[in-house]
Structure 1
């Protein structure tokens, strides 16, 4: 049986090329009856075509999976493991009829397209909880960096502009309220870590019961606008779906009190960067921190590049999930889920999406 990994970041060598020898963990879990192959990809290029599109080099820091080459590699595969590669109708067609499972190496499933997989009777699964500690810690780090103006002070001192009061005077977080958009696994982990720093934690999630929020010591808020209106800082942990695409835009930010802070460690497309830029210009927002953008590298977007020039913005390169432990855990659980389907003839243990 064949398992094709389309774009595994952990498999890249020092030159940014896939090294088959790095899949020893996967081969050990999948067993001798399963071969592990890598699809056509390399570092520094864009992973995600629309249906029928060819993918070429870009500066977004992702991975390339070129249309016809990918389809050829996928044909006859019993399983496909994707990272940033997009599942498209053409890819699903190439996978028929041999493929039994497609796994997404990550928390989100926006590029997994379970609706398309379901049409072909293919299992689909992600791993929604492998990096909750890492992402929640990264979220708190970004928010506290904004609160204490750490990055501004760092730049000033390095620029020989030492000064206690330069960069602004921080506020006392113990007297402030923080709001959370999305109260799933990671939102709950962030709530626990934020509670020692903030006076009050609120959350908005129409799919989570108020009683569950209360059990975590968090007060539910019925609307996104009310959450922004009542919070001094907001962190985003919502999933990217058609419903949440562009969720945080001018309307939500317009409800925020002057001097609010915003942190996004979920998905870039949840936030309208133009609206953020406008809110920073007017003082509605006093700071913005983000681990994610659309496109991935904010340097590839004229609007996002304007954010990068500002002292009230902190960014990182979509690595909130990353640690040595989380990466190994994800690899093990993906391989175990694929083995369950191919070898044990069972649904993937992480749950069936398609």
Structure 2
């Protein structure tokens, strides 16, 4: 049997080239009777087009990272492909309805990096609160000054809001509570009793959350319902000077609207680990955000630690092996 890892970030060596020898975890789990192949690579992994589809043709399983499940991809791997696994939490690129129609099992790993993402969220938010990134740049540029870069506010007198109260939202709550006076949350799919059990005040609408909070963090999934959730009209509801932090999905946020909200001081700062396209340097609007002192960014690595990456790789391989050998998908994370 043959498993193709279409675009594995962990498989790139120090020079940024694919190295099959790095697939030690996968080989230890899948065993010698299952062949492991890496995807097409030019300057980066190719995840669409004729060459890519020819490469994956005949695969019994695919493991995708940023690769999108499309009708063309399924046409290339059908009818032999039994499972497509997403190496990560999000499922927007798995295209669950399409997989369900095809009869191919799809799964993700929804719970491997809650500690990492919640910690990274707090790091970005506190960097905004304390002006850490601005101070770092000023001191390095020989512009040392206690009051340069603005005067921080006292967080214990502030209210923070969470959009999306799933696993990661709840983990972030525990870490926010020692710093902030009150934590609010909005999630139409989570009962108020669950939030109350975590010491969080539920609110009914995103508008109310924005109006009441001095900082807002995003932990909701990307769906048709949430795409461009944070855009012009909704940002007008934000409490003046509020901070916005996104460690969920880039397409939740309209960067042009965030830029205008920062310019008008409706927002006091923006921090993000995620953009769409993934590298904000590829977007003219996002590049303008990168020029601002009230913006803090990282390169889609909130999930990352040595432990989380090893766990993710092992659990993906175990799920793929279970489907290929026994026809049984993992208990957690099945989407189709």
Tell me the TM-score normalised to structure 2 length: 0.98
Query: Out of 63, 66, 76, which is 1:81 matched to?
Result: 63
**What is the rounded CA distance, in whole Å, between the counterparts of 2:305 and 2:46 in structure 1?**
23
**What is the rounded CA distance, in whole Å, between the counterparts of 2:2 and 2:141 in structure 1?**
55
Quick one: structure 1 residues 42 and 12, their matched pair in 2 at CA, closer, same or farther if it must change by over 3 Å? farther
The more displaced of 34-43 and 332-341 is 34-43
Quick one: structure 1 residues 178 and 42, their matched pair in 2 at CA, closer, same or farther if it must change by over 3 Å? farther
Deviation of the 1:301 alpha carbon = 1.1
1:37 aligns with 2:19: no
Matched residue, 1:98 = 80
Query: Out of 62, 66, 70, which is 2:52 matched to?
Result: 70
CA-based RMSD: 1.1
Query: Out of 219, 222, 227, which is 2:204 matched to?
Result: 222
Matched residue, 1:4 = 4
Matched residue, 1:109 = 91
Q: Give the count of matched residue pairs.
A: 336
1:330 aligns with 2:312: yes
**What is the rounded CA distance, in whole Å, between the counterparts of 1:351 and 1:259 in structure 2?**
38
TM alignment of 1:276-287, pairs within 5 A: 276-287=258-269
**What is the rounded CA distance, in whole Å, between the counterparts of 1:144 and 1:41 in structure 2?**
38
Deviation of the 1:153 alpha carbon = 1.0
The answer on whether the counterparts of 2:46 and 2:52 sit within 8 Å (CA) in structure 1 is no
Deviation of the 1:41 alpha carbon = 2.5
Matched residue, 1:50 = none
**What is the rounded CA distance, in whole Å, between the counterparts of 2:50 and 2:207 in structure 1?**
45
SS of the counterpart of 2:299? coil
Matched residue, 1:293 = 275
Deviation of the 1:94 alpha carbon = 1.1
Deviation string for 1:215-248 (max 9, x for gaps)?
Answer: 1111111101100001000000111111100001
Matched residue, 2:116 = 134
Matched residue, 2:220 = 238
SS of the counterpart of 1:235? strand
Quick one: structure 1 residues 233 and 227, their matched pair in 2 at CA, closer, same or farther if it must change by over 3 Å? same
1:183 aligns with 2:157: no
1:197 aligns with 2:197: no
Deviation of the 1:66 alpha carbon = 4.0
The answer on whether the counterparts of 1:298 and 1:304 sit within 8 Å (CA) in structure 2 is yes
SS of the counterpart of 2:243? strand
Deviation of the 1:323 alpha carbon = 0.8
**What is the rounded CA distance, in whole Å, between the counterparts of 2:138 and 2:329 in structure 1?**
55
Deviation of the 1:16 alpha carbon = 1.7
TM alignment of 1:11-50, pairs within 5 A: 11-42=11-42, 45=44
Deviation of the 1:350 alpha carbon = 2.6
Deviation of the 1:147 alpha carbon = 0.3
The answer on whether the counterparts of 1:135 and 1:321 sit within 8 Å (CA) in structure 2 is yes
Matched residue, 1:55 = none
**What is the rounded CA distance, in whole Å, between the counterparts of 1:252 and 1:5 in structure 2?**
39
SS of the counterpart of 2:88? coil
List gaps (5 residues or longer) in structure 1: 46-62
Matched residue, 2:290 = 308
Deviation of the 1:316 alpha carbon = 0.6
**What is the rounded CA distance, in whole Å, between the counterparts of 1:114 and 1:303 in structure 2?**
31
The answer on whether the counterparts of 1:103 and 1:126 sit within 8 Å (CA) in structure 2 is yes
Matched residue, 1:49 = none
Quick one: structure 1 residues 130 and 42, their matched pair in 2 at CA, closer, same or farther if it must change by over 3 Å? farther
